[in-house]
Homo-oligomer: A and B are copies of this chain.
Amino acid sequence: MVTDNLNETSYNNHDHHTRHPRLRLGVFGFGCVGQGLYHVLHETQGVKAEIKKICVKTKNKQRPLAEDLFTFNKEEILNNPDIDVVVELIDDAAAAFEIVKAALQNGKSVVTANKKMLAEHLEEIYQLQKKYNKAVLYEGAVCGSIPILRNLEEYYDNDLLNSIEGIFNGSTNFILTKVFEEKKNYLDALKQAQDLGFAESDPSLDVKGFDPKYKLVIAMAHTFGVFVTPEEVINIGIDKISDLDLKFARENNYTIKLIARAFKEGGKVFGFVAPQFIEATNPLASVRNEFNAVQVQGAFAEKQLFIGKGAGSYPTGSAVLSDISALSYDYAYEYKKRHQLSGLVYSNDLLVEAFVSFDADHAIKIQDFEQFESGYSALGKQYMAGLVKLEKLKEWSQTPGVGIILAPNAKFVSASKQTEKLQLA
């Protein structure tokens, strides 16, 4: 159940010895994560839960479990009074949302790891939880095995959080690691990531930064209490990183990471995804291969960094199982920050310190920068660095031949603040 300031009589019972002696699960999807969950569930004695039914799409496929465990009819789970919890692990975000809605309507709690679905419908899912008094948990959707949502909800409850940032996508981190450490060609590294199952079948979700953006949207709700749609958040991918960028990085002892970040300043929340040069002494530099990292900065706990596997059958299955375990004592996200920090507004009105590379025939000018820092040209490419409007970076990121990488320890300036400064000057 969802507790809420408006709803003071509901409560979460934290005891899992006396309630729900054995949760009965209906699982949608039996791919990588579903199979991982099945395995993890059978190896642990800590969680009392059993899979009653698994709904799959493809008929005539060899499966490692008894045939009568599977169904092709979703109603056999959604309308099954013997099922308490729906575990949604399918690819299709639209179909997944219909499943979540129907499950809640039918009085079932939900565990899901579908970040796209969650990012697109989070506010609605928040409302549905309140309406039907059932929980939706989704730790596995944000950085796989890293328990970031639970910590944001439970541990940082009383800390004033300023920012959350990190490496939210394992595939691109794998690719960037291979490119840097093994001097691999970009496309070879991508292919290797796909062969190993780290990259989605549609690599643009990873490479263009959509996947980490979905996770950031979810994390922002639990960090700052704001609901933002994915469309509002700007994502710049690693698809236009050039050999010259790599050379520049190596010469300066930098690496490049695809960073998702959100922070608050002066009543506003800013959030975006973009590649960034990272100094060797930055702990994020040592986060390698398919590992993810989340750094939370609070007023008092100061910097906290969580590193763990962001994807994969067992790590994500383990996070899903942890949510199931939490449901056994009626845990639900309270979305506490919504009540504590009401009044924060999401904004893209930000200046960002970035390196912009472009071919000579692109008409990017010094005047396009709010504050120009430096420029040079090499090997037929032009480079310019300085403070640029985030919206301008988005525009450039969609222009072929223009590459964007944020500066190491980049400055971020709230644009309204900048205006004030310029007026004062």
How many Å from the CB of A82 to the closest CB on chain B?
A: 22
Would you call A398 an interface residue if the criterion is a C-beta within 8 Å of the partner chain's C-beta atoms?
A: no
Which residues of chain B come closer than 8 Å to A17, judged between CB atoms? 3, 5, 8, 11
- The answer to whether A314 and B286 have CB atoms under 8 Å apart is no
Which residues of chain B come closer than 8 Å to A374, judged between CB atoms? none
* Chain B residue at minimal CB-CB distance from A8: B17
Which residues of chain B come closer than 8 Å to A5, judged between CB atoms? 17
* Chain B residue at minimal CB-CB distance from A36: B300
Which residues of chain B come closer than 8 Å to A287, judged between CB atoms? 283
Which residues of chain B come closer than 8 Å to A36, judged between CB atoms? 300
Asked, given contacts A3-B15, A46-B158, whether A307 binds B283 with beta carbons under 8 Å apart, the answer is yes
Binds B, one of A144-152, A266-274, A364-372, A410-418: A144-152
Partner of A157, one of B3, B46, B154, B301: B46
Which residues of chain B come closer than 8 Å to A12, judged between CB atoms? 13-15, 329
> How many residues of chain A are within 8 Å of chain B by beta carbon?
66
Would you call A107 an interface residue if the criterion is a C-beta within 8 Å of the partner chain's C-beta atoms?
A: no
- The answer to whether A314 and B340 have CB atoms under 8 Å apart is no
Would you call A159 an interface residue if the criterion is a C-beta within 8 Å of the partner chain's C-beta atoms?
A: yes
How far is it, in angstroms, between the C-alpha of A312 and the C-alpha of B5 when the chains are bound? 34
- 20 new A-B contacts, CB < 8 A, other than A150-B154, A157-B322, A300-B321, are A3-B17, A11-B13, A11-B17, A11-B18, A12-B15, A13-B14, A44-B160, A44-B300, A145-B302, A147-B155, A147-B304, A151-B151, A154-B154, A158-B318, A159-B322, A282-B286, A283-B283, A300-B317, A301-B308, A303-B307
